[in-house]
Structure 1
Amino acid sequence: MSLIHAASEAAFGGTGADCLSRATQLVCELFLNSGSGVEEIVRRYYAEVHSWFPIIQEDVEHFLSSTIPTNLGDHGHLLLSMYLASHPLCEHMNHVADSPLYLITRQMFLVMQALSTMSIRLLQSGLLIAVYEFGHGLTKKAQHTVSSCLAIYRSLVASQCDQEPSSDKDMSGIKACWQSIILLDRLTIFSKIIDDVTTTQTLFQQDSLSWESICSSSILPSFTSHPNAKGKFLDMEMGTSNFSMLYRVSILAGDVFEHVAQAAAGREPSTLYKDLEKEISLITCNMIEEAGTASTKFCESIALALCSLLLLQLFRTTCQLKSHIAGEDNIALETTKRMVLDMNRTASYILQTNDSSAMSLVGICCVCSAGVLLVLASQRGHQISLADSDLATIRFNLEALNRRWGIGVSRSGSRPRWLVLNSDNDNNIARNIKVYMYL
């Protein structure tokens, strides 16, 4: 820690707080000088990310009024993270997810955390970095970032206990960040599952240890021992936000992980399979019904729910492979398969038209995760069949997301499109930040 403080004083002639203030002001100046204005960044974030990940409680105009270059405060690093999370998708074949701007943004976040400059803005920055990492296949880094965010959250909550009660806005902001930590924890576990089945392929060979180790890798405590943490939400309320539904579905995803881990370890699951399947199926159908056939409302929540439901059903059929699979289980799995394929077709259309506002990168990743599980299940003895057109759709989505296509099908001749930062100007911004900060 002393070395970090020494580096801070050498670069800025002051403490960690001085480092944060100077660095954030520098970020704003670099954006302005590069032609990427603060207002442009903020408005794009609110248009493309805020609707499904509203961790910043202010409306766009209020946020802009607090990020004037002469009064930037601690918003600079948050602006960088907003820029990462909302950047337009890129089709340049030579660009990679570990871009210089991403790396310097993440490094600044870790340094600020080490300097104990804990704030709600730093927590929000970390969560947006984790969104970028998850959406670009950087699963291990995403899990580390979420762990750092959990530490910051706990520090903020502890500090609140020693101070006067915060405003309702502050409390709602911290609550939104907590819900986001839960969501991102679930998403990274799904990514680990996909990494496992595309490399070792053990999950579909009745390997109980593999199921147990991955599904018990959450950084959060179990929710089943805290029944009040999950309310009843089988009946949808009109006007329910996508973020609220994402949080609710992420709680159910945690129940799925716990059920699988307990059953794989030979223990009695805390939640019965039929009860859990019914609850996820019902909330999925309710979201689809309210969204309507021509709408992408709840698309991220529906994608996560389908991924959770498919994982639960595939685990059950994996356990039943040596015996007869019940007819009702087979029908339920076939129904889930059709819904997953429908969402994969939608994701494919979005990727081809580059309409990132229709479905977030996180939503598309959830759809792709479910697609991979389907294909692998079809090749591991499950009663699932996929048409060539379905395989082509899933393959296209995976290649577009720079996912490994490790399911026995040869990669197409064309190089995949990389969904990453797409401007030499971004690299110049990162280079200048690094020079001025001496990181």
Structure 2
Amino acid sequence: MEHQQLAARISCFSCRHSKRRCDKTLPTCQLCIRRGVDCRYPKRRAQKYVVLPDGDETTEDKIPARHDLLVNRAADSDRSSDWEQQSPLETPNATTSAIQSFGTATAIQFIAPTLFREARLEIPRINITIPSHVAALTGEFEQIRDISATFFSQVVIWTPVIFRKNFFNIALNPLSPRRTEGILLSLCMKLYCTPTTQDERDGRTALYKATKQFYCEVEAAGILSICILQSAILIAVYEIGHAIYPAAYLTVGACARYGIALGLDKLLVDLTGENNTGKPWMEVEEMRRVWWGILILDRFLNLGNPLRGLTTKDPEYDDYLPVDDWTFLNATAKPQDNLRISAAFNLKMGVFTRLAQATYLVNQALKFLSSLPPPGDPNDTVDIAKDTAQLRRTIWALISVTKSEFDAHDLATCCQTAVSYCAILLLQDAHWRRVRISSTEDAYKHMFAESERVLENLARMAFCLRKDKEEGLCLDEEFPVFLMQIVFQGALTTIEMGQGNSNKEIKERIAIYKWLLQHLQSRWRVAGIYLSILQSKEAIMASVV
């Protein structure tokens, strides 16, 4: 009799819908305990709905059994590509016990990952409520489709880190209710593509604040998803482009931590990384590209201060690169398509792959500069010109590979060339400081051959863009944030060459760089900040003549 009181007559909803054997133990079956999900039993054999109390015993809120299954169903929350249907936007997303089970499972997974895998524990999926103002900003499927079409059509380097098929499934599938991750990524795409107005000069627009707040809410919920990390990357790029500091630096650091929590850092040394066995190959490649995106941003932020510590580990010579962009975007990539950084530069590679390769070389330059002894050190025997000769030749070799594919105008959108130029000019500036140039003649005497070619190419690009503008051509295409950085560094180097007493050629180059930054500040606020710094640099150089 006692045994009969402890056993249910019918299997619980979770076991029935997952087609697993239920031991019918009351109040919770052992399988649900092991899985950490909410266990509920039907009150009658034909019952197909979970009945939840609503505070009034005479009122019942009936939720379809399908929803109960999806709330409690075990799913790897570190992937946003499990396309099971979720609850509609207006439906309560999870019961209190389900939320508690989710929090317990995620804590165990983080604290004791080995035990989590050995016990074959699973994390129930939850979906937080989407605020009404966020839903209004993204709109319905038609508006989200327009947002994504604008984003993917722009010449932005961050397009190749998002697998379009996955995004369309999670955000644009009309047969599936909207998911939190899809709404967040759509909102971040809209943020990226929306320029600021004259009334919002600091870049902290209402859209930015809403996006940042919603991201923080989703992150605080504890959901680990590659889609959420992609959203954070877009927020970081927006903050960099509009000079929202130190927020940009902190956001990139948070991206690095989030990526490590997902195990993305392991994908550079192992094709599949950890716990990715059995996942579709395109999803694994997407994760690898996202991690490279974080590495790129982390080093980009240090171009202005090489002594600042990096958040991520340095990429190694034998680490894996992303596959060719075309094979990734068309979902035809295979494991054997992945190349290592050490692969010959003359092999066919995609634009994002080249950018990753260039980032590795930029990292070498930053590592060298951060290891220099302080000025005045009596034991200093470093000869930058000699010690960096091979590195500069390697960087220029990478530039030469893509040089034939980009004319002077297209250089403005060639990100891998831009960051490679930045590395060369950083080394040049450090060399000038150590030899203490005091005149334009000294600057030319101690200039690297690679630096001279960089400055020539930059000036040619700027003159071509101004000529196009004067001829009535539209220059409102999407320029990446890398362009502002290299134009700024080129201008700084040119001002340094003048030593406060510039000749005609130097003055013309400085003027064209200023014009370009002034034109670009209508899209990226950071261009205006760079322009102000250049003006201050000129004033300082003129005062010491």
Please give the TM-score of this superposition, normalised by the length of structure 2.
Answer: 0.59
Over 3 Å counting, the alpha-carbon distance change for 1:110 and 1:296 in structure 2 is same
Unpaired segments ≥5 residues, structure 1: 1-9, 194-213, 412-439
| Worse-matched range after superposition: 286-295 or 334-343 | 286-295
In structure 2, the CA distance between the partners of 1:103 and 1:282, relative to structure 1 (3 Å rule), is: same
Aligned to 1:152, which of 247, 258, 263?
258
Cross-structure match for 1:241: 350
Q: Is 1:221 aligned with 2:327?
A: no
CA distance in 1, matches of 2:175, 2:167: 15
**Separation in 1 of the partners of 2:502 and 2:511?**
20
* 1:389 alignment partner in structure 2: 508
Contact kept, 8 Å, 1:344 with 1:394, in 2: the verdict is yes
**Equivalent position of 1:272 in the other structure:** 387
TM superposition shift of 1:391: 2.0
Is 1:37 aligned to residue 143 of structure 2? yes
Q: Matches of residues 170-319 of structure 1 in structure 2 within 5 Å?
A: 170-190=283-303, 192-193=304-305, 214-223=306-315, 226-229=316-319, 231-232=341-342, 235-238=345-348, 240-265=349-374, 266=380, 272-293=387-408, 295-296=410-411, 299-319=414-434
Q: Could you give the per-residue CA deviations for residues 314-356 of structure 1, whole angstroms, max 9, x where no partner exists?
A: 2122212269779574544322211222333456678996644
Which residue of structure 2 aligns with residue 118 of structure 1? 224
| Aligned equivalents of 1:146, 1:343: Cα separation in 2 | 30
Name the aligned partner's letter for residue 228 of structure 1: D
How many angstroms apart in 2 are the aligned matches of 1:11 and 1:59?
25
Kept after mapping to 2: 8 A contact 1:120/1:174? yes
Question: Does structure 1 conserve the Cα–Cα contact (< 8 Å) formed by 2:229 and 2:258?
Answer: yes
- How many angstroms does 1:248 deviate by? 1.2
User: How many angstroms apart in 2 are the aligned matches of 1:42 and 1:298?
Assistant: 20
TM-superposition CA deviations, 1:288-327 (whole Å, max 9, x none): 2232456458612211111111111221222122697795
User: After superposition, what is the alpha-carbon deviation per residue over 1:343-390, rounded to whole angstroms, capped at 9, x for unaligned?
Assistant: 334566789966443x52323223333234324423558999853332
Larger proportion of helix: 1
1:403 aligns with 2:529: yes
In the alignment, the residues of structure 2 paired with residue 107 and residue 100 of structure 1 have an alpha-carbon distance, to the nearest angstrom, of 11
Letter in 2 for 1:308: A
Q: Is contact 2:233-2:255 (8 Å) kept?
A: yes
How many pairs were matched up? 375
1:183 offset after TM fit, Å?
A: 0.7
Q: CA deviation at 1:268?
A: 6.6
Residue 22 of structure 1 aligns to a residue whose secondary structure is: coil
Percent sequence identity over matched residues? 17
> Equivalent residue for 1:337?
455
- Displacement of 1:185 after TM fit? 0.9
Moved more, 13-22 or 306-315: 13-22
Compute the RMSD of aligned alpha carbons: 3.9
CA–CA separation in structure 2 for the residues paired with 1:117 and 1:350: 48
Q: Structure 1 residues 384, 79: CA separation in 2 closer, same or farther (over 3 Å shift)? A: farther
Contact preservation (8 Å) 1:75, 1:121: yes
Q: Match of 2:246, SS? A: helix
Q: Take 2:251 and 2:492, find their aligned partners in 1: how far apart are those partners?
A: 26
**Contact 2:145-2:172 within 8 A present in 1 as well:** no
Does the 8 A contact of 1:149 with 1:181 survive in 2?
yes
- Alpha-carbon distance in structure 1 between the residues aligned to 2:175 and 2:198: 32
The one-letter amino acid of 1:227's match is Y
* Distance verdict in 2 for CA 1:322–1:306, change over 3 Å: closer
Other-structure match for 2:134:
27
Structure 1 residues 149 and 61 mapped into 2: Cα distance closer, same or farther (>3 Å)? closer
Alpha-carbon distance in structure 2 between the residues aligned to 1:169 and 1:267: 49
Greater relative CO, 1 or 2 (CA 8 Å, sep 6+): 1
What is aligned with 1:373? 492
Q: Indicate how the Cα distance of structure 1 residues 393 and 236 shifts in structure 2: closer, same or farther if over 3 A, else same.
A: same
Alignment of structure 1 residues 352-363 onto 2, 5 Å: 355-357=475-477, 359-363=478-482
Contact kept, 8 Å, 1:28 with 1:69, in 2: the verdict is no
Show structure 2 runs of 5+ residues with no match: 1-91, 104-123, 267-272, 320-339, 375-379, 522-526, 539-545
Does the 8 Å contact 1:262/1:268 carry over to 2? no
Secondary structure at the residue paired with 1:82?
helix
8 Å CA contact 2:408, 2:457 repeated in 1: no
**Equivalent pair of 2:296/2:356 in contact (CA under 8 Å):** yes
Alpha-carbon distance in structure 2 between the residues aligned to 1:384 and 1:306:
24
Tell me the distance in 2 between the aligned counterparts of 1:350 and 1:82: 29
> CA offset at residue 407 of structure 1?
3.5
Query: Is the counterpart of residue 85 in structure 1 residue 200 in structure 2?
Result: no
Instruction: Indicate if the aligned counterparts of 1:368 and 1:398 stay in contact, CA closer than 8 A.
Output: yes
Q: Equivalents in 1 of 2:462, 2:289: separation in Å? A: 29
Q: Note the C-alpha offset of 1:23.
A: 1.6
* 1:237 counterpart SS class: coil
How big is each residue's C-alpha offset from its partner over 1:156-181, in whole Å with a ceiling of 9 and x where there is no partner?
A: 11897357542212211110111000
